[in-house]
């Protein structure tokens, strides 16, 4: 039994009023993630790419999802790129997934992963490549997988279990095969993270047919311990391979939502460590995971004490619990929105690293009003993902020579000289704005644009008058530089007639870069006090 203090569970009820009162005091750093499922096109794609027109429609569908997620200040997309032994990018190892065209192995005419990365990065969002690790495919579709099927290329690694083929984690070749797939993705694509699902033994593991590999490689160890060591060996191999290629690519997985039985709360026979041999807390403590997205699709004493346990045992790494928002749907468990709201407030109040949502459609469909709640309240301002100082702790240099200019009567532009960084992953930029100078970059409410690649930022000059600007640099591990401030007495080469208020104070006219229309109702005299929610409407 694992010990988790009972007071942590009781603290939920004692501190919930405080959490509710402080619900708008969102942190500046918080992972806000969503799983986009490509299996059977559940979230995307709904259109098969069979022609130029349908290919464009498929791409537009993804852009619409990303736009909706961006509008609610989601900052991390977990896109399923390896489904069940098939992929959504041109691979030398495995076949195209059926969801793209309706047929395994058929080229959709473009690279969906490259497209998704570019579109996510345009919106200042991270993209983590979600890979299903151990399951391959159902026996009923095995013959449709083609010559690149793992059953054809590496039949010795495959084991039948129930109605599916699985890789056998007890065989050394399984780690080699998965490392090869991960190398292909990390080497070729500018992903921000590599995220694993089903990196464990399957349900009903006691019936999993690995007797031969256990006899050959078990060396007398208890079978459950041997299986956990097999999974840890695979995780360790992949982690080392990934960071040898690109040190900034974060590695994560989504384990079963309860690690093990606790002293006061049973996992009811379903947990990561004992049921499916997944030592996820050990991975954090060993340092072979950067963050964890445990699938906490529960409530009550199935949720809160186990969330506290993940946090207590995280070893200084990040835990971002996954919430089962699909249970809000009337055809699932028909949860009320209050169930998810309580969980969100608890996780934030307890200082976990963020929240994740399974799955995208139940968020973008505004199931039970969840999207509205996040948009109007819980995610009222943007957030940066937490930094990973164990990967790198050196911030980029501060941007220099910040200037403001005019493009036309409505559009202005900030421009600055680029920063440098010790990593090769590239530098991004964050924009802050406030009525107060210097701009306080510690406040989430001042953050208006995140993770921009360009060294310029266009804005609507008429949308909000009286703001000061600041710009910081961000590296791929989340380290942020100090700020260059646009302030009185700076940038004398700029035409000051364009940036001076009536009292001679330097000002800026700012808006989110995607805000294209001038809404004169949002332009208010400086003497009128603005509500926080009003500022959000200006910048989003």
Q: How far apart are the first and last CA of the chain?
A: 48
Look up the CATH architecture of domain 6-134+169-378: Alpha-Beta Barrel (3.20)
Q: Per DSSP, what are the bridge partners of residue 317?
A: none
Within a 10 A sphere around the Cβ of 376, how many other Cβ atoms?
13
CATH of domain 400-539: 2.60.40.10
Cβ–Cβ < 8 Å for 210, 437: no
Cα separation, 359 vs 371, in Å, equals 12
Q: Does the bond joining 45 to the residue before it have cis omega, within 30 degrees of 0?
A: yes
- In this predicted structure, what is the pLDDT of residue 465? 72
CA pair distance 470, 430, nearest whole angstrom: 8
Per 3-state DSSP, the chain is made up of helix, strand and coil in percentages (nearest 5) of: 35, 20, 45
Residue 490 burial by Cβ neighbours in a 10 Å radius (0-12, 13-18, 19+):
middle
User: Is the Cα torsion angle 41, 332, 140, 179 positive or negative in sign?
Assistant: positive
pLDDT of 463 reads: 62
Which pairing describes strands 447-452 and 76-82: parallel, antiparallel, or unpaired? unpaired
Domain ranges of the chain: 6-134+169-378, 400-539
> Which segments in the chain show pLDDT lower than 70?
1-24, 463-464, 487-540
């Amino acid at each position: 039994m694992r010990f988790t203090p009972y007071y942590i569970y009781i603290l939920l009820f004692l501190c919930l009023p405080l959490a509710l009162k402080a619900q708008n005091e969102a942190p500046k750093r918080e992972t806000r993630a969503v799983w986009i499922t490509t299996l059977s096109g559940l979230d995307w794609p709904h259109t098969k790419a069979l022609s130029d027109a349908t290919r464009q429609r498929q791409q537009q569908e993804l852009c619409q999802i990303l736009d909706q997620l961006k509008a609610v200040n989601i900052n991390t997309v977990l896109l399923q790129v390896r489904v069940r032994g098939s992929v959504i990018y041109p691979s030398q190892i495995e076949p195209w997934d059926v969801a793209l065209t309706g047929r395994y192995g058929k080229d959709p005419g473009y690279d969906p992963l490259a497209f998704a990365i570019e579109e996510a990065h345009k919106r200042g969002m991270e993209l983590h490549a979600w890979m299903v690790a151990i399951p391959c495919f159902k026996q009923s579709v095995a013959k449709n997988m083609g010559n690149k099927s793992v059953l054809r290329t590496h039949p010795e690694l495959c084991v039948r279990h129930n109605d599916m083929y699985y890789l056998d984690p007890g065989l050394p070749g399984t780690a080699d095969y998965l490392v090869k797939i991960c190398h292909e993705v990390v080497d070729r694509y500018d992903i921000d993270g590599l995220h694993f699902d089903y990196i464990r033994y399957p349900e009903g593991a006691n019936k999993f047919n690995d007797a031969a590999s256990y006899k050959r490689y078990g060396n007398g160890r208890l079978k459950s311990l041997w299986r956990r060591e097999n999974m840890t060996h695979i995780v360790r191999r992949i982690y080392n391979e990934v960071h040898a290629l690109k040190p900034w690519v974060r590695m994560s997985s989504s384990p079963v939502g309860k690690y093990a039985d606790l002293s006061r709360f049973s996992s009811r026979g379903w947990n990561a460590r004992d049921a499916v041999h997944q030592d996820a807390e050990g991975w954090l403590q060993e340092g072979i995971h950067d963050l964890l997205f445990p699938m906490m699709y529960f409530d009550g004493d199935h949720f809160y004490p186990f969330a506290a346990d993940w946090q207590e045992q995280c070893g200084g790494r990040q835990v971002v619990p996954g919430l089962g928002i699909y249970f809000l749907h009337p055809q699932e468990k028909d949860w009320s929105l209050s169930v998810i709201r309580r969980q969100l407030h608890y996780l934030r109040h307890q200082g976990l690293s963020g929240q994740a949502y399974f799955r995208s459609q139940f968020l973008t469909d505004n199931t039970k009003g969840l999207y509205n709640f996040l948009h109007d309240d819980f995610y009222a301002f943007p957030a940066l993902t937490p930094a990973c100082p164990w990967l790198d702790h050196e911030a980029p240099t501060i941007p220099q020579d910040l200037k403001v200019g005019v493009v036309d009567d409505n559009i202005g532009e900030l421009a600055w000289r680029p920063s440098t960084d010790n990593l090769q992953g590239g530098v991004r930029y964050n924009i802050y704005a406030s009525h107060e100078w210097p701009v306080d970059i510690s406040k989430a409410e001042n953050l208006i644009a995140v993770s921009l690649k360009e060294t310029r930022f266009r804005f609507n000059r008429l949308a909000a008058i009286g703001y000061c600007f600041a710009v910081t640099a961000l590296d791929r591990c989340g380290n942020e530089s100090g700020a260059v401030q646009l302030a009185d007495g700076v940038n004398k080469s700029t035409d000051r007639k364009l940036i001076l208020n009536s009292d001679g104070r330097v000002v800026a006219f700012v808006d989110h870069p995607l805000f294209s229309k001038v809404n004169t109702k949002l332009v208010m005299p400086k003497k009128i006090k603005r509500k926080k929610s009003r500022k959000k409407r200006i910048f989003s």
